[in-house]
């Protein structure tokens, strides 16, 4: 499973690799830790779980457009908490698809930012960090200022994944309680493992950052919830658990319906697309600098793409004789007028004569 890393630089560097091996595996729920036990009866509820997301009545176009495509474009369409979101991330939020890692990382980063804005100190550990902690394969980061200890936070949350299945750990630091959420149901053995790993992590963390050792009396618990009964909704459940836990609205987790899950998918897609980004200072496909490289301008949005197979090959393949180069997103009218005219004003129309040449041809 590809794992999101912090920062756009890493994202950019790995974009080609990431997109070529995109995580499209179907998540199975057959690992040894997951059984078919304890599936709560799903009851119909009129109210969808409240979401910090918009309700979806406005500006649904980018999501609907991307969902209606025949295939992934592997192109950045939004930027959330400094991370680029690709069209395939938004498309992974369609019903019965497995969410990509980036959807979880971006949405949870954003959720944590919202709660920090409300005055709570909430820290997000990305899925590599949290999974490494549970597997005891972590490295404590260098902390320059030990007054900024993670253990001073109110809440630490992160995704713990194994065997292509996502689970969520929420640490209420001040209460010294770990809340473990496994969409398929929590088992005592895995909870014991998590508790023991967390205790070890805290001890190592405190030693490393030289904080007065205060032995926390951690305990672990779970919260009753409707169980996942398919192979593709574990990510959606985890996002819902995180959102409801932070807002203290745990009751509705008992009656999650498939309609709620679908609603959540749409709401998450809309929330991420609030960061819709019209990249102009780099190649809009690979998001890397274009300076000094051979490039080609889209005749509609006027943005420059690398004249390389990864960046334009598929776009060129769709172009008929005598047509100007027009990028994928322009071909589906993804940009609104304001966005697509931004560059037109900056760069008056002057079509390159090499439009019809294929990358690699001289
Ligand atoms: Zn490029
Ligand atoms: Zn374009």
The reply to whether 300 and 260 lie within a common domain is: no
> Domain of 225?
8-273
Residue 112 is assigned to a structural domain of this protein = yes
Residue 2 is assigned to a structural domain of this protein = no
Q: How far is the CA of 305 from the centre of ligand 1 (A)?
A: 5
**Residue 192 neighbours by CB distance under 10 Å:** 11
Nearby residues of 15 by Cβ (< 8 Å), 6 or more positions away: 84, 286, 287, 288
Of the listed ligands, the closest to the CA of 302 is 2
Rounded Cα distance, 201 and 94, in Å: 37
pLDDT on residue 264: 98
Of the listed ligands, the closest to the CA of 341 is 2
Taking residues 87-108, report their average pLDDT.
97
The reply to whether 252 and 318 lie within a common domain is: no
Of the listed ligands, the closest to the CA of 76 is 1
Look at the block and give the residue holding tokens 């439009």: 355
Q: How far is the CA of 20 from the centre of ligand 1 (A)?
A: 14
**209, 146 in Cβ contact below 8 A?**
yes
Of the listed ligands, the closest to the CA of 299 is 2
The reply to whether 72 and 219 lie within a common domain is: yes
234-256 residues labelled b (16+ CB within 10 A) or e (exposed): bbbbbbbbbbbbbbeeeebbebb
- Tell me which residue of 161, 163, 181, 162 sits closest to 171, measured CA to CA: 181
Of the listed ligands, the closest to the CA of 306 is 1
Residue 147 is assigned to a structural domain of this protein = yes
- Extract the tokens encoding 61: 């176009």
Give the rounded percent of residues in the chain with a pLDDT score beyond 70: 73
Tell which of 239, 273, 307 closes a domain.
273
pLDDT on residue 56: 42
Residue 285 is assigned to a structural domain of this protein = no
**92, 26 in Cβ contact below 8 A?**
no
Nearby residues of 1 by Cβ (< 8 Å), 6 or more positions away: 23, 25, 101, 161, 164
The reply to whether 31 and 80 lie within a common domain is: yes
pLDDT at 262 over 80: yes
pLDDT tens digit sequence for 145-172:
656 788 889 999 999 998 889 999 999 9
Q: How far is the CA of 216 from the centre of ligand 1 (A)?
A: 50
Residue 288 is assigned to a structural domain of this protein = no
The reply to whether 228 and 328 lie within a common domain is: no
The reply to whether 255 and 136 lie within a common domain is: yes
The reply to whether 299 and 265 lie within a common domain is: no
Map residue 161 onto helix, strand or coil: strand
Rounded Cα distance, 308 and 283, in Å: 11
Q: How far is the CA of 87 from the centre of ligand 1 (A)?
A: 16
- State which of 29-43, 45-59, 249-263 shows the largest mean pLDDT: 249-263
Of the listed ligands, the closest to the CA of 328 is 2
Of the listed ligands, the closest to the CA of 315 is 2
Of the listed ligands, the closest to the CA of 287 is 1
Rounded Cα distance, 19 and 31, in Å: 27
Q: What is the pTM of this model?
A: 0.77
The reply to whether 144 and 196 lie within a common domain is: yes
**122, 247 in Cβ contact below 8 A?**
no
| Residue 33 belongs to domain with CATH number | 3.40.395.10
The reply to whether 189 and 116 lie within a common domain is: yes
Q: How far is the CA of 58 from the centre of ligand 2 (A)?
A: 24
pLDDT on residue 323: 72
Tell which of 243, 273, 303 closes a domain.
273
pLDDT at 9 over 60: no
What residues form DSSP beta bridges with 161? 166
Map residue 252 onto helix, strand or coil: helix
What is the tally of structural domains in the chain?
2
Q: What is the CA 285 to chain-centroid distance, rounded?
A: 19
Alpha helical stretches, state H, the chain = 8-20, 61-67, 87-91, 101-117, 127-134, 188-208, 234-247, 258-273, 309-317, 328-331, 337-346
Q: How far is the CA of 12 from the centre of ligand 1 (A)?
A: 10
Residue 362 is assigned to a structural domain of this protein = no
Of the listed ligands, the closest to the CA of 307 is 1
The reply to whether 206 and 146 lie within a common domain is: yes
Q: How far is the CA of 21 from the centre of ligand 1 (A)?
A: 18
- Tell me which residue of 53, 69, 87 sits closest to 244, measured CA to CA: 53
Of the listed ligands, the closest to the CA of 12 is 1
- Tell me which residue of 232, 239, 231, 107 sits closest to 170, measured CA to CA: 239
pLDDT tens digit sequence for 340-349:
665 555 544 4
Q: How far is the CA of 41 from the centre of ligand 2 (A)?
A: 49
The reply to whether 199 and 109 lie within a common domain is: yes
Q: How far is the CA of 75 from the centre of ligand 1 (A)?
A: 10
Residue 1 is assigned to a structural domain of this protein = no
Q: How far is the CA of 335 from the centre of ligand 2 (A)?
A: 8
Residue 82 is assigned to a structural domain of this protein = yes
Q: How far is the CA of 306 from the centre of ligand 1 (A)?
A: 4
Nearby residues of 43 by Cβ (< 8 Å), 6 or more positions away: 255, 257
The reply to whether 206 and 300 lie within a common domain is: no
């Amino acid at each position: 499973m590809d794992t999101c890393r912090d920062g756009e630089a890493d994202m950019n560097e790995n974009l080609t690799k990431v997109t070529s091996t995109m995580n499209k595996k179907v998540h199975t729920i057959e690992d040894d830790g997951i059984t078919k036990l304890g599936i709560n009866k799903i009851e119909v509820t009129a109210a969808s779980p409240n979401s910090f997301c918009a309700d979806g009545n406005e500006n649904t176009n980018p999501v609907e457009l991307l969902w209606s495509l025949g295939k992934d474009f592997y192109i950045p369409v939004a930027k959330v908490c400094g991370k680029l979101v690709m069209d395939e991330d938004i498309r992974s939020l369609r019903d019965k698809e497995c969410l990509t890692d980036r959807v979880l990382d971006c949405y949870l980063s954003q959720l944590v930012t919202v709660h920090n804005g409300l005055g709570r100190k909430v820290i997000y550990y990305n899925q590599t960090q949290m999974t490494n902690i549970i597997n005891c394969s972590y490295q404590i980061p260098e902390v320059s200022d030990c007054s900024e200890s993670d253990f001073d936070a109110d809440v630490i949350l992160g995704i713990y994944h194994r065997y292509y299945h996502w689970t969520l750990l929420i640490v209420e630091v001040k209460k010294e309680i770990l809340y473990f959420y496994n969409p398929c149901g929590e088992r005592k053995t895995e909870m014991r493992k998590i508790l023991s790993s967390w205790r070890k992590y805290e001890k190592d963390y405190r030693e490393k950052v030289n904080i007065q050792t205060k032995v926390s009396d951690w305990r672990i618990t779970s919260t009753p919830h409707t169980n996942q009964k398919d192979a593709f909704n574990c990510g959606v459940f985890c996002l819902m658990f995180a959102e409801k836990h932070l807002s203290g609205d745990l009751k509705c987790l008992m009656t999650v319906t498939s309609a709620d899950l679908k609603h959540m998918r749409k709401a998450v897609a809309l929330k991420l697309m609030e960061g819709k980004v019209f990249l102009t200072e780099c190649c809009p496909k690979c998001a890397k600098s274009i300076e000094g490289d051979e490039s080609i301008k889209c005749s509609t949005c006027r943005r420059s793409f690398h004249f390389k197979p990864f960046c334009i090959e598929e776009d060129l393949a769709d172009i008929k004789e005598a047509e100007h180069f027009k990028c994928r997103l322009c071909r589906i009218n993804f940009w609104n007028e304001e966005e697509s005219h931004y560059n037109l004003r900056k760069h008056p129309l002057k079509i390159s004569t090499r439009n019809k040449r294929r990358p690699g041809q001289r």
